[in-house]
Amino acid sequence: MNTQISAKLHSAIDNETDFVLTDDGTTGLYSHSVSDIYHSSYGALSEAREKFIRPLNFTQNFNNNILTNKTIRVLDICSGIGYNSKAFLDYILKLPTFSGAKIKIDALEYNKQLVLLAPFINDGLKDAAVAFLLFNELKDEIFDNFDLIEDVILNKSNHPFFSRRIITLFEKYFLNGYNKSSPTRFNAFLHNIYYHYVSKRNKTSLKPSKILNFSFAPHYGDAREFIKSTSACYDIVFLDAFTPLKLPTLWSEEFFKQLYKIMSDDSLIVTYSNSAAVRNAMLAAGFFVGKTFDKKNRPSGTVASKNSNFISQPLDVFDLGLLKTNAGITFNDPELEWDAKTILERYNLKKTRLKLQSSSSYIKSHKNKKEKSCMTL
Ligand SMILES: C[S@@+](CC[C@H](N)C(=O)[O-])C[C@H]1O[C@@H](n2cnc3c(N)ncnc32)[C@H](O)[C@@H]1O
């Protein structure tokens, strides 16, 4: 489904990207250059919660980090306007066991404008603490790059996509003669935003003990460059790249092999993709791989870990059979630097060379087998 058309409301950020209002009332995006949605039409926030946070199985897999006060290191690949990091923080802040764990998020994203807009987006979170946390971490960059977001936020047709409180403040402080050339005044303005953002109701959730040990660091550019050069180690990786067949750059076998090197023994990759090619690439990298389900028990994606105990729903016989068909053919990108076109060309050549069973005939024969076995019962 094309969100751009089905969305009740949309407005252009630039020639390449539209804001759209998703079904849960939160702001999503549509990319014209990739012809792909950033966020599911059923809801940007709901999608982050169902496809990225729920599959973490956090209380089981990461409870020890909380109890021992270890830093939880998160890599948010393709962070965009920040839903996965925000939904994660929202979840953590509400955890009854949470009393001040350390959280460090590295956010990888091409588009700086999207990252700087993240704290202002109408994200549907009742608690403003999360936007506040992001805002606080990004405020110097927001000041230095205000031109990147100023027009977008002040454009009236974009207002439904932002937090109402923020728009009012921008209008009040910025339009009424606020002088952005003065850092002191700008800082005062930002402080006012914090103050209004953190309404009395929300102050209680901003206990200093909960937010002292938090960092959110954006890294602009190709995510492949970052994962090749970083010496960091991660516990949680959110992988939210565009659809593999549209943009395979962040789904190759070599990409997952590199991720393997920068993840701790007790860590988890979470992605919305349930592509057989992606699952095969994860397996080739040495991960245990499992599938995930939303609260209505519909498939919602894939998880990968070095620790088999982190995989609560391993791939079943059907899924493993599918990996052996042409749907399971992996993308390759030997030095992690090919462009999408080259990766797809090589992928198509590999497909022709391997001549594997088509996934549709596999699915059909599997269905027939299942029906037969039911009849014999
Ligand atoms: C599906 S959207 C992710 C949405 C995001 N998680 C959010 O909450 O808004 C994909 C994002 O990946 C970014 N992107 C695509 N290829 C990239 C790459 N090679 N390195 C870094 N970012 C990339 C795009 O700019 C886009 O923002």
Provide φ and ψ at 40, rounded to 5°: -65, 145
Residue 43, helix vs strand vs coil: coil
> C-alpha distances in angstroms, 164 versus 170, 195, 197, 354?
10, 15, 10, 55
What pLDDT was estimated at residue 14? 83
Instruction: Write out pLDDT tens, residues 212-256.
Output: 578 999 999 999 999 999 999 999 999 999 999 999 999 999 999
What pLDDT was estimated at residue 146? 83
> Average pLDDT of 343-352?
98
Domain boundaries along the sequence of the chain = 1-42
Q: Is 84 in the pocket of ligand 1 (CB under 6 A)?
A: yes
DSSP for 198-227? S-HHHHTT--HHHHTTEEEEEEES-HHHHH
Specify the pTM: 0.92
Token output for 156: 């009236």
Asked if 20 and 9 touch (Cβ cutoff 8 Å), the reply is: yes
Confidence of residue 166 (pLDDT cuts 50, 70, 90): confident
Among candidate residues 339, 235, 322, the one with its CA nearest the CA of residue 278: 322
| Residue of 18, 106, 110 with the most ligand 1 atoms within 8 Å of its CB, for mutation | 110
Asked if 4 and 33 touch (Cβ cutoff 8 Å), the reply is: no
Asked if 43 and 22 touch (Cβ cutoff 8 Å), the reply is: yes
Provide φ and ψ at 48, rounded to 5°: -60, -45
Closest ligand 1 atom to residue 86 Cα is 8
Confidence of residue 7 (pLDDT cuts 50, 70, 90): low
Q: Is 45 in the pocket of ligand 1 (CB under 6 A)?
A: no
Asked if 95 and 127 touch (Cβ cutoff 8 Å), the reply is: no
Confidence of residue 208 (pLDDT cuts 50, 70, 90): very low
Q: Among 88-92, 235-239, 263-267, 365-369, which is the least confidently predicted range?
A: 365-369
DSSP for 82-109? -HHHHHHHHHHHH-TT-SS--EEEEEEE
CA 4 to CA 35: how far, in whole Å?
Answer: 10
Q: Is 242 in the pocket of ligand 1 (CB under 6 A)?
A: yes
Asked if 354 and 323 touch (Cβ cutoff 8 Å), the reply is: no
Among candidate residues 193, 189, 171, the one with its CA nearest the CA of residue 180: 189
Q: Is 3 in the pocket of ligand 1 (CB under 6 A)?
A: no
Sheet with strand 299-305: strands edge to edge: 214-220, 103-109, 72-77, 234-239, 263-271, 299-305, 288-293
Q: Is 121 in the pocket of ligand 1 (CB under 6 A)?
A: no
**Span from the CA of 242 to the centroid of ligand 1 (angstroms):** 7
Token output for 121: 């987006």
Burial of 313 (0-12, 13-18, 19+ CB in 10 A): middle
Residue 181, helix vs strand vs coil: coil
Residue owning tokens 């009040």: 172
DSSP state of 358: P
Average pLDDT of the chain to the nearest whole number: 87
> Average pLDDT of 139-165?
86
Residue owning tokens 């390449």: 16
Confidence of residue 6 (pLDDT cuts 50, 70, 90): low
Instruction: Write out pLDDT tens, residues 84-140.
Output: 999 999 998 888 766 667 899 999 999 999 999 999 999 999 877 788 788 888 988
Asked if 322 and 231 touch (Cβ cutoff 8 Å), the reply is: no
Instruction: Write out pLDDT tens, residues 289-338.
Output: 999 999 999 999 999 999 999 999 999 999 999 999 999 999 999 999 99
> C-alpha distances in angstroms, 117 versus 33, 46, 236?
20, 19, 24
Name 288's Cβ contacts closer than 8 Å, sequence gap at least 6.
304, 305, 306, 307, 308, 310, 311, 314
Q: Is 222 in the pocket of ligand 1 (CB under 6 A)?
A: yes
More confident residue, 203 or 97: 97
CA 82 to CA 197: how far, in whole Å?
Answer: 18
Residue 19, helix vs strand vs coil: strand
| Residue of 3, 16, 76, 109 with the most ligand 1 atoms within 8 Å of its CB, for mutation | 109
